[in-house]
Structure 1
Amino acid sequence: MIYTTPNNNIKSIMGGGPEEIDSGKQASDRPLLVSVIVLMVFGVLAVYSSIVYFAESNGTSAGSLVIGHTMKLGIAFLVMLIISKINYHNIAKLSRFGMIVSWLLLLATMVFGTELFGARRWLFIGGYSFQPASFASVALLIHVAVLLDEKQEYIKDFKRAFLPIMFWVIITCGLIGLEDFSTAGLLMMMCLLMMFVGRISTIQLGGLVLIGVLGASLLIMQSPERQSRLNHYVDQITDIKSDKFNVEDGYQAQQAQIAIAQGNIFGVGMGKSTQRDFLPAPYNDFIFAIIAEEYGMLGSMALILLFTTILLRGIAVIAKNAVDTLGTFLAVGCTLNIALYGFINAGVANGLLPVTGLPMPFVSYGGSSMLFAGLMVGILMNISKHDRKRKKMFYA
């Protein structure tokens, strides 16, 4: 069968072209699935080691919290398997509806949300809490992929392509950024990368970057907590260069780096972390530091390798071999959402990035973020089932 598409230029960007394809489904991408399963195992072990102090402080047992974490992982894995069975084109049809629902949830959080750790990010419904920002992020990435696919014939047009896409991006990132600056900034970056792959004009993207920098500056200026985190990060870099050590500034980052240093090459051993008693949220924001302490440089490098595998399989294999541009854009968005969260969490623990509060997918203790990470991996798995056969090219 001869394969032709009006968007062959996109396929050439991703390394493909008009070629023979297989209309039947194939098995899901196994390296992707194995990487996610191993990350889940890492997560259970790390959470069990790091949550002891938190459990004792709240009058519960570490075992019960780990069981709850394992159950959430099981639900995320089940969601991943279910979504992998649903054709991604059917999921894409719900993108606009998902965006509207996400906006309503974000607005409801501003009014009825519960404030924890100085931010109003959680919404309680029926006795269960979740972060609407996680759902909004997934909905936006899917909708941007849909819009990029729909507008490929006039993708360079400012009014017909760029503005309609940015309408959804700016409003969503703005609503999230009021309470969760880190998530909003990362989401904006992922959308920009997707738009770059989708052939949006680089001039238009450059202007958007400038607007994003100005918007980020305003959000930082209106929040003393954000200013403090940024100042601590800058002070940390300055202190390193001047051989100074400020105990009061950047406490979280300092404790994380102590944990990593104690781990050395082989680690102190599973369950033997000492920094878990000093690190705030060692089971979530700084779980990479606990893994590095207990499993050493070898364990932390293995964790980074797993996220690198997901990045390479998602971009170089699944996105590249997708049967259409919608599959390509969806694969890029889903892959970036999983891999960048993992890399940034590790970068914060190592002191390479300022403290963000972003979890490590499938490893950090949590619920909503883990659930939606499973959803995005499920979409990736479904796209991989429709990979084109790598055979001799035929031109129409």
Structure 2
Amino acid sequence: MLAKLVVYLKNFDWILFSSILLLVCFGLAEIYSVALGQGDESFLNFKKQILFAMAGIVLLFAVSFIDYHYVRSYSNYIYLVGVFLLMAVLVFGQTIRGTRGWFYIMGAGIQPVELIKAILILFLARYFSGASLRTNQLKHLAVAGTGFLIFFILVLAQPDFGSGMLLFATWLVMVIAAGFDKKFFIAIALIISVLFVGAWAFYLKPYQKQRIMTFINPSFDPLNQGYNVAQAIIAVGAGGLSGRGIGFGSQSQLKFLPESQNDFIFAVVAEELGFLGICLVLSFFAIFFYRCLYNIKKNVKDDFGIFFILGASSLIFMQMFINIGMNIGILPVVGISLPFVSYGGSSMVSSLVMVGFIQSIIIRSKINY
């Protein structure tokens, strides 16, 4: 047992883990900073986030110690559990800000869609690695598309448009990586165009349409839908080179910036730590993405491992990109948090579990386990 532990620790990617740990610490510091000016409830969120981070890190190590081949063999059953969770939350879940997407257990909110993102990646990695993708591509695309659509429809039913778009983007990245014929992507683009027109006419709620209009023209609704973005842009611009210092950001401390502990925490980082702080956060993300790609190229041997690491790192990258885009006004506000940094237990724990699974793949690829 001791010998296995030594081998495990030796092959654990400590650089990748350190980049994530630093992002978590960065997030805790900024959540604490926001709490300084917002009272007891924000301090309670800070304490909760410490517990979420600790639980997530423990699970990261626990998952990394499990042979990923074992989890791979149960991926279809795990997918069915995901379907059950999404159906259950529509019936028994709590509604927050118009989205019926939370379970509350002993006072703790659990958002199943955060786990669903990882389950979709697991399902697609298992299917693509086990199928002969050079033959009968239409069949394989139909199976992968059906698996995605079931999740997508159930998530939109909540409705959670932002998470639904993330699921679609993750699916599309993995389909592209699988090497399907280009003609399928032309068909997908046409279908998306038709669906967008249909969604605008029959599905999108007025507030969602308003967010899109505000994104196109920020002055469209500056005191309502455009208010958050306007305040975030002010915060980002106010930080300058080195920022105003932790606890001294006027936008967050004086409560001008809503959702400053989650959706708009990047703006808090920019105001309090400036351009240098932003560069530091982005460098930690860059190290994580580099280590993922490095391991895909140098260490990971099997297609399942490659697909999963590619899918998970792409998901985290897209969440990061969308969140930052929301904060600087180049993307509409869709309720996507900054991975490892924003407040939120479900997002934190599920993201750290994904990193643990990536570590499991890396470790066993290095030692040919």
Same fold (TM > 0.5): yes
Among candidates 311, 320, 325, match of residue 333 of structure 1: 311
Taking the aligned partners of 2:111 and 2:41, their CA distance within structure 1 comes to 25
Residue ranges of structure 2 left out of the alignment (5+ in a row): 1-6
Match 2:233 to one of 257, 270, 282: 257
1:231 aligns with 2:213: yes
Aligned-residue offset at 1:350: 0.9
Task: Tell me if the contact between 1:319 and 1:329 (Cα under 8 Å) persists in the aligned partners.
Answer: no
CA contact (8 A) 1:220 1:226 kept: no
| Cα drift, residue 109 of structure 1 | 1.6
Q: Which residue of 1 aligns with 2:144?
A: 165
CA apart distance, 1:96: 1.2
Q: C-alpha separation between the residues in 2 aligned to 1:269 and 1:147?
A: 48
Indicate conservation of the 8 Å contact 1:304/1:343, yes or no: no
> AA paired with 2:207?
E
CA distance in 1, matches of 2:72, 2:189: 27
State how far apart, in whole Å, the 2-side matches of 1:71 and 1:319 are. Answer: 35
The verdict on how the C-alpha distance between 1:114 and 1:331 changes in structure 2, with shifts beyond 3 A counting, is: same
Shift of 1:86: 1.0
**CA deviations over 1:212-251 (Å, ceiling 9, x no partner):** 3433444444211110110000012xx6xxxx99555511
Q: Secondary structure at the match of 2:11?
A: coil
Question: 2:230 is paired with a residue of what secondary structure?
Answer: helix
Is this contact kept in 1: 2:129–2:307, CA < 8 A?
yes
Aligned counterpart, 1:385: 363
* Partners of 1:232 and 1:320 in 2: CA distance: 45
Match of 1:374 in 2: 352
Per-residue CA deviations over 1:105-151 (Å, capped at 9, x if unaligned) read 11122222211112211122454321111111111111000000011
Shift of 1:317: 2.8
- 3-state DSSP class of the match of 2:179? coil
Q: Where do 1:209-248 residues align within 5 Å?
A: 209-221=189-201, 222=203, 223-236=205-218, 246=222
Per the TM alignment, residue 204 of structure 1 is displaced from its structure 2 partner at its CA by 1.7
Q: Is the 8 A contact 2:31 2:261 kept in 1?
A: yes
Aligned-partner residue type, residue 190 of structure 1: T
3-state DSSP of counterpart to 1:386: helix
Judged with a 3 Å threshold, the aligned counterparts in structure 2 of structure 1 residues 98 and 183 are, in CA distance, closer, same or farther, namely same
Q: 1:245/1:99 Cα in 2 relative to 1: closer, same or farther (>3 Å)?
A: closer
| Residue 292 of structure 2 is aligned to residue 350 of structure 1 | no
**CA separation in 1, counterparts of 2:362 and 2:24?**
21
Bigger shift: residues 218-227 or 293-302 = 218-227
Asked whether the equivalents of residues 307 and 343 of structure 1 are also in contact (C-alpha less than 8 Å), the reply is no
State the secondary structure of the residue aligned to 1:281. coil
| TM-aligned CA deviation for residue 270 of structure 1 | 0.8
| RMSD, aligned α-carbons | 2.1
| Closer/same/farther in 2, CA of residues 154 and 234 from structure 1, 3 Å limit | closer
Q: Is the 8 A contact 1:169 1:188 kept in 2?
A: yes
Query: Could you tell me how far apart the structure 2 residues matched to 1:103 and 1:361 are?
Result: 24
Paired letter, 1:258: I
Structure 1: where are the runs of 5+ without partners? 1-23, 390-396
Runs of 4+ displaced beyond 4 Å: 244-249
Structure 1 position 319, deviation (Å): 5.7
Q: Contact between 2:28 and 2:49, CA under 8 Å: does it hold in 1?
A: yes
Q: Which residue of 1 aligns with 2:13?
A: 29
Residue type of the alignment partner of 2:341:
V
2:125 aligns with 145
The equivalent of 2:4 in structure 1 is: none
How do 1:59-138 and structure 2 match up within 5 A? 60=40, 62-138=42-118
SS in structure 2 at match of 1:378 = helix
Partner in structure 1 of residue 276 of structure 2: 298
TM (normalized to structure 2)?
0.90
SS in 1 for 2:271: helix
Q: 1:359 aligns with which of 325, 329, 337?
A: 337
CA shift at 1:387, angstroms?
A: 4.0
- Number of residue equivalences: 355
Q: Secondary structure of the residue that 1:115 maps to in structure 2? A: strand
Contact 2:270 2:277 in 1 (8 A): yes
Deviation for aligned residue 1:189? 0.9
Percent identity reads 28
For the 8 Å contact 1:320–1:328, the answer to whether it is kept is: no
Preserved contact between residue 259 and residue 293 of structure 1 (Cα < 8 Å): yes
Contact 1:334 / 1:379 at 8 angstroms: preserved in 2?
no
Summarize the Cα distance change of 1:248–1:172 in structure 2 as closer, same or farther, 3 Å threshold. closer
Amino acid at match of 1:168: G
Mean Cα deviation higher: 94-103 or 277-286: 94-103
What TM-score, normalized by structure 1, do the two folds share? 0.84
Aligned residue in 2 for 1:8: none
| 1:17 alignment partner in structure 2 | none
Aligned residue number for residue 47 of structure 1? 31
How far apart, in 2, do the equivalents of 1:88 and 1:282 lie?
A: 37
